[in-house]
Amino acid sequence: MLILLPPSETKRDGGEGAPLDLATLSFSSALTGTRKRILSATVALAKHPTESAKVLKLSAKQMFEVERNRTLMTSPTMPAIDRYTGVLFEALGAGTLPHASRAFLGSHTFIQSALLGPIGGLDMIPAYRLSFDSRLPKLEGSPLKKVWAVPAGKALSEAIGVRSGRHLVLDLRSEGYADLAPLPAVGNVFYVRVVTRGADGAVRALNHFNKKGKGEFLRTLAIDAAVTAGISSLEELFVWAATAGVILELGLPGVPAAGKSPAKPGELNLVVSGLL
């Protein structure tokens, strides 16, 4: 089983690792060239603080992000699961997990970075500021999905064996980040929606608690790594969920491509309380 995660806008400062080494990142053989292009464009933009603020939509209090980008290649690194500090990652609480659980995250999770493409949970990365919808002048203002989609989508699909069905894939990415490395709509790929069930039995999507629900779900998977590391099918995932107190249900089925509309994977509903 493999889990795909979105990043967060907020990042933790510092780190004890050596500066960024592209050769050590996941998918290095396929994505180093694209990573160099985007890194170069991001560092170049950081030489112009006013323009950086406009392109990256920074407030006066966020101008420290420009310096982060300017020093991308020389600043210290830390594992990706510790670098990100948004709601999902706070709920995951990777820093409080035992070694076996962190090893599970390193082997079974990929985070969809706008700067570096899909990266492993334990890949060593610097602090940075870049979003899925950022348009870098050095890349002629092209949307990042135009730069990332083909190489990252291909690399991710091949590595996780999407078409062969080698792995069960749970996609927890938001739509904007999923567009940076789209996956084909095949039977072993499922988009996870966080929902709650009303008194009438109907389910509705959660917005405010969406990221927290995903983070807590991932933490439960990681804590039970001795079992979850071996899950390779939806049936096995449902058996585990029933014993772990996690409510998972099949949602919408996959939708094949029609005309110019992209195909969509099937959905899993992660049912949580609306009062997380």
Average pLDDT along the chain = 91
Specify the length of the chain in residues: 276
| Average pLDDT of span 239-264 | 78
| Residue 245 CB partners (closer than 8 Å, separation 6+) | none
pLDDT at residue 152 above 70?
A: yes
253 has a pLDDT exceeding 90: no
**Reported confidence tier of residue 187, pLDDT bands at 50, 70, 90:** confident
Burial class of residue 71 in the structure, from the number of CB atoms within 10 Å of its CB (0-12 exposed, 13-18 middle, 19+ buried): middle
pLDDT at residue number 254:
62
| pLDDT of amino acid 198 | 75
Q: 271 and 249 in contact (C-beta within 8 Å)?
A: yes
Task: Please state the pTM of the whole predicted model.
Answer: 0.92
At residue 245, the pLDDT reads: 94
d(CA 173, CA 194): 12
Q: Which whole number is the average pLDDT over 121-143?
A: 95
Query: Which pLDDT band holds residue 158 (cuts at 50, 70, 90)?
Result: confident
Determine how many CB atoms are found less than 10 A away from the CB of residue 199: 5
Average pLDDT for 41-67: 96
The yes-or-no verdict on residue 132 having pLDDT over 80 is yes
Q: Give backbone dihedrals phi and psi of 139, rounded to 5 degrees, phi first.
A: -100, 20
Residue 106 has pLDDT above 50, yes or no: yes
Please state the rounded mean pLDDT for residues 108-123: 97
Judged against a pLDDT cut of 90, whether residue 162 lies above it is answered with no
Q: Any residues with CB less than 8 A from the CB of 95 and at least 6 apart, and which?
A: 82
